[in-house]
Amino acid sequence: MKSVLKMSDACKVGIHAVVYIARKKGEPVTSREIAANFKISYNHLLKVLANLVKADILCSLKGPQGGFVLKNYPENLNLYTVFKAIDGEISDCEVCLFDEKACMDKKCILGEYLCKANREFVEFFKSKYVIDLI
């Protein structure tokens, strides 16, 4: 289980890529264009896009006019779905923001605050749709 507060770089890339593709309104977008636009590793992006295709969020079109398009309408796709496709299910409560080896306490000193913040982020991700960001 992951926490929104510890979102992976892959997830950040995935969310940005999905919104970028949605802004093209059905026009196929190449992975090279996305990588160049966000100045990110092409190989890393390919892995992220493969996860999004596998999760039925994106469709990969082959050929010279190919690229990636959204599989569904942006008003039907929330950020939680994208997060889950890359980082997996979100836990209700995160133990610690630090590496467990760095924390000396048995219980996180930030306690319930982290749990509350994580729940609020989850609700935000479930209520925020790609259409809201284009």
Facing residues of 90 across strands?
Answer: 2
The boundaries of the domain holding residue 98 are 4-133
| DSSP 8-state secondary structure symbol assigned to residue 78 | B
Q: Which residue in this structure is represented by tokens 């264009």? A: 33
pLDDT digits (tens, 9 = 90+) for 25-69: 999 999 999 999 999 999 999 999 999 999 999 999 999 899 999
pLDDT digits (tens, 9 = 90+) for 90-131: 776 655 666 666 566 666 677 677 778 888 888 999 999 999
pLDDT of residue 6: 74
Measure Cα distances from 93 to 90, 97, 107, 118 in Å: 9, 11, 12, 6
Facing residues of 111 across strands?
Answer: none
Tally the domains of the chain. Answer: 1
User: What is the identity of the amino acid at 98?
Assistant: F
The reported pTM is 0.85
Q: Dihedrals φ, ψ of 28, to 5°? A: -60, 140
Q: What is the CATH number for 49?
A: 1.10.10.10
